[in-house]
Structure 1
Amino acid sequence: MHELSIAQNLMALCEKNARENNAKSVKKIEIKIGRLSGVEPHYLESAFSVLQPDSICKDAVLLCHLQEIVVVCNDCGAKSELSKNEFLCPKCGSAELKVIDGEDMYLMRLELGF
């Protein structure tokens, strides 16, 4: 389960930001997880909760926002959001798509306690 190592890295990033800002705690963590990122939000939340008790994030709320796949068609130029892994342009049917969002995981917001 690679979500455990991702949770460890997320925890380390939160602790680093808290130290740099002289915070006493982390209250809320918001992340965006792309559907193509390979990260399963449920498993990440479970792994995070295992690491939480012994960290500055012990009382933090973890909010995971799932990012759909956003593409631009190289043929017609349409920007679309795909709700399933069917890589065809919804406008013209072309398979010549460029993925512009939905492949990564980002830390979007960190709420610190002082």
Structure 2
Amino acid sequence: MHEMSIALAVIGQVEEAAGRAGDITAVREVRLQVGELAGVVPEALSFCFELACAGTVLEGAELVTDFVPGRARCAPCAHEWAVGMPPLLSCPRCDGGSTDLLSGRELQIVAVRWEDGRTPAPTREPIPEER
């Protein structure tokens, strides 16, 4: 199951970023883009992520996966289409075999939400005047 190695890599990258940011007390959410053609089962990745976060600054963090559909473009006729699963890589318009994969292979961290140990400065709201 390569989802565990992906989860460990994500956790390592987030821990490294948290270390550079300094004073991070907890990671609350990690958002990933996962392409349709990346070969990742999101449910398996979530399960592995939860297990691998135990004992780290990410313990209890939510993993949010944003699905990215596969899209391709035919080089000869410039037609674009949804690749789907199983992937259709020849052009449905001209049957051309020279295609460019535009999206669907993504597997990247796009956002992390964490807390730091600093006390936030109080906001100064104007007090409404009584009438």
The bucket for the TM-score relative to the shorter chain is: 0.7 to 0.9
Structure 2: runs of 5 or more not aligned: 117-131
Partner residue in 2 for 1:4: 4
Shift of 1:88: 3.4
Asked which structure has the greater CA Rg, the reply is 2
Find 1:107's aligned residue among 102, 109, 116.
109
What's the CA shift for 1:8? 0.6
TM-superposed CA distance for 1:90, in Å, is 4.4
- Letter of the 1:12 partner, please give it: G
In the alignment, which residue of structure 1 is the partner of 2:80? 79
- In 2, the alpha carbon distance for the partners of 1:9 and 1:87 equals 30
- Structure 2 partner of 1:34: 35
Q: Deviations over 1:8-66 (max 9, x none)?
A: 11111111111111222111110011121121111111111111221111121100112
Instruction: Flag the structure with more relative contact order, 1 or 2, with Cα contacts below 8 A and sequence separation at least 6.
Output: 1
Structure 1 residue matching 2:110: 3-state secondary structure: strand
Give, in whole Å, the separation in 1 of the partners of 2:91 and 2:111.
Answer: 32
2:50–2:60 CA contact under 8 A, matched in 1: no
Gap runs ≥5 in structure 1: none
Change (3 A) 1:21 1:67: same
Aligned length: 114
Local SS of the residue matching 1:110 = strand
In 2, the alpha carbon distance for the partners of 1:83 and 1:100 equals 13
When the two structures are superposed, what TM-score results if normalisation uses the length of structure 2?
A: 0.78
Residue identity matched to 1:49: E
SS in 2 for 1:24: strand
The structural deviation recorded for 1:73 is: 1.1
* Identical amino acids, percent of aligned pairs: 21
Partner of 2:121: none
Please report the RMSD computed on the Cα atoms of aligned residues, expressed in angstroms: 1.6
Q: Distance in 2 between matches of 1:111 and 1:4?
A: 22
TM-score by length of 1: 0.88
The CA distance in 2 between the partners of 1:108 and 1:90, in whole Å, is 32
